[in-house]
Structure 1
Amino acid sequence: MNRLESFGYIAAQAARGDITFPTSVNAALRLQLALDNPDCHIEDAIKLVLGEPQLAARTVALANSAAFKRSDAAPITNVRAAVMRVGYRSLQTLVASLVVRQFGARIADPGLRAKAAQLWEHTAHVAALSHVIARRITFVNPDTAMFAAIVHEVGGFYLLSRADEFPGLLDDDVEHWAELCEEVVSREVMKKLMIPAAVSTAIEGLRGGWLSMPPSTLLDTLLLANQFAPVASPLAQEAPAMPRHSDSVLDFVMDDATLDSILLESSDEVRTMSAALMA
């Protein structure tokens, strides 16, 4: 089976809804469904977090990150306090991060594993930037923005998890990769993961999307976060060099000092949030 046939085979499977997740992903999805239940009591949520060691560690780390901890607040040292500080929405984002990262757990090829690691680093940066940009520029819900950023490359993670089955699938073919990931696989994987429509619509709009003036939507938030993320997706087509602030479209809505302030603030969040997500 050549590369194009492989792409067609995976795309046809996805279009039929024939998407198989690793066992570890299914376990994380069960946790996600439990937390999505409006009747899920705080005590039940705490027990669920405690039952997943990785999630427990990341919840405590996120609670102590610059995004959630006031400078004068004492460090959080237990899951109960961490859940209370970050809230359900951020907890659901952490569960989504577990789901996304588990796609790479079964990758055997070293080159593909390296791509998955870089893709996750890119995702973590975009998530932190989205949280800041939502608060400071677009004024969409910051928790929704962070969640959308966590899952915005989920189609790419899924295809990486399948690439071991099709040697050479991703070699020097980013155009076909991007088209397949964006138009078929990403959409179907998000549907399978029950990503809310508002979030999946924004993610689908990223390919070829245009920034609104002034930036005010979830799509705008993701576009800006991707533009300024210091780590690029290994699956994206080669992007042009980052524009200087004076050349940036953002000059229409903010001055250099404001932009520098936002990027400086986000750098601290990126560092601590990335550590929380990767704990």
Structure 2
Amino acid sequence: MDRPDVFKQIAAQAARGELAFPTSVEASLTLQRALNDPDCHIEAAARLVQAEPVLAARTVALANSVAYNRAGNEVTSVRSAVQRVGFRTLGALVAAVVVRQLDSKIANPALRAKADQLWQHSAHVAALAQVIARKVAQVDPETALFAGIVHEVGAFYLLSRVEEFPGLLDGDPEEWIEHGEIEIGRAVLLKLGVPAAVLEAVEALWNGMRALPPETLGDTLMLANDLAPVASPLHERPGAAGPQSAATIDFVVGEGTLASILAESADEVRSLTAALL
């Protein structure tokens, strides 16, 4: 079976909800559903998080990041961390764990390197999106953080299938889109239960059009994607500045500029990124 046919086969499976997830992903999705239950209180949430060591570590790290710990009061317990970041941000962290679990079985060193770079890119985009949403676009920063975490989840899913289908990601990425990559990405996002606003923002990124200054969640996500210092190893959005020329993107924001806001927020972005990595 040639590559276009494989893409179409995977896209068709995804459209039917037949996604090949590792067992660990299914367990994390169960955790996500439990945390989304309106009857789930902080004590129960803390117990659920404590049962997942990676999630517990990331929750405490994020709670102690500059973005969530402006007073400099460090927390050391999962319960205190959950209380500080809130359930919505906790949901974003669960999504981060799910995304990373998608590539957990990749053994090929070259593919492993791509997956690691893709996550570094995603973490930078998520951190930048959170700050840009709050300080520039005036859209919900927690939703922007979530959107940044999941915006490449379709690519992670495809990477997880490459060893099963060698050569799947060879060739021009524009061909991947033609053969069903967007449909695959949309199906994975729906499986993760992402809010409609996040799905629309990621679709805006796929379409490659934005407003500057950013006005919507989609604009915010695209700007963060363009400014990320680590590029996606699989995609370069049409018209994106790329890490080398990101410094040329600037505009007036109130009494300042994007460049000045990003400079003032560098510690926030750095700590958020580190917590996600």
What is the aligned partner in structure 2 of residue 17 from structure 1? 17
- For 2:35, the aligned partner's letter is L
Aligned residue in 2 for 1:235: 234
Q: Gaps spanning 5+ residues in structure 2: where?
A: none
Instruction: For 1:179 and 1:270, locate their aligned partners in 2 and report how far apart those are by CA, in whole Å.
Output: 35
RMSD over aligned Cα atoms: 2.0
What residue is the counterpart of 2:186 in the other structure? 187
Residue pair 1:124, 1:270 contacting (<8 A) in 2 also: no
Per-residue deviation, 1:274:
2.3
Deviations 1:86-106 (A, max 9, x none): 111111111010011100101
Code of the residue aligned with 2:27 in structure 1: it is A
Aligned mates of 1:101, 1:265 — CA distance in 2:
30
Residue 126 of structure 1 contacts residue 149 of structure 1 at CA under 8 Å; is this kept in 2? yes
Seen in structure 2, the aligned counterparts of structure 1 residues 193 and 180 have a Cα distance that, compared at 3 Å, is farther
Equivalent residue, structure 2, for 1:96: 95
Structure 1 residue 269 and structure 2 residue 268: aligned? yes
Which residue of 1 is the match for residue 26 of structure 2? Answer: 26
Shift in alpha-carbon separation, 1:232–1:168, aligned structure 2, 3 A: same
Give the secondary structure class of the aligned counterpart of 1:233: coil
**Amino acid paired to 2:112:** R
SS at match of 2:69: coil
- CA positional deviation for 1:8: 1.8
Distance 2:179 2:267 in 1: 35
User: Which amino acid counterpart does residue 10 of structure 1 have in structure 2?
Assistant: I
Matches within 5 A, 1:1-279: 1-70=1-70, 72-180=71-179, 182-237=181-236, 239-240=240-241, 243=245, 248=249, 250-251=250-251, 253-254=252-253, 258-278=257-277
% identity of equivalent residues? 58
- Deviation for aligned residue 1:82: 0.8
3-state SS, counterpart of residue 194 of structure 2: coil
Task: State the alpha-carbon separation in 1 of the partners of residues 82 and 124 from structure 2.
Answer: 22
Between 1 and 2, higher relative CO (CA 8 Å, sep ≥ 6) is seen in: 1
TM-score by length of 2: 0.92
Q: Aligned to 2:229, what secondary structure does the other structure show?
A: coil
Verify the 8 A CA contact 1:11 1:184 in the aligned structure 2: yes
Residues 10-19 or 155-164, more deviating: 10-19
Q: For residues 244 and 142 of structure 1, do their structure 2 counterparts lie closer, same or farther at Cα, with a shift above 3 Å needed?
A: closer
TM-score (norm 1): 0.91
Distance 1:276 1:121, change over 3 A: same
Q: How many residues align?
A: 274
Q: State the shift of 1:255 in Å.
A: 8.3
String of CA shifts for 1:205-254, please: whole Å, max 9, x gaps. Answer: 11233223542211011011011110111111375555575x64x42x43
Question: How far did 1:276 drift?
Answer: 1.5
Distance 1:51 1:215 in 2: 39
In structure 2, C-alpha distance between the alignment counterparts of 1:256 and 1:243, rounded to whole Å: 24
Cα distance in 2 between the residues matched to 1:160 and 1:168: 11
| Counterpart-to-counterpart distance in 2, 1:54 and 1:10 | 30
Shift of the 78–180 alpha-carbon distance from structure 1 to 2, 3 Å rule, reads: farther
> What is the distance in 2 between the residues matched to 1:260 and 1:236?
25
| Structure 1 counterpart of 2:163, one-letter code | D
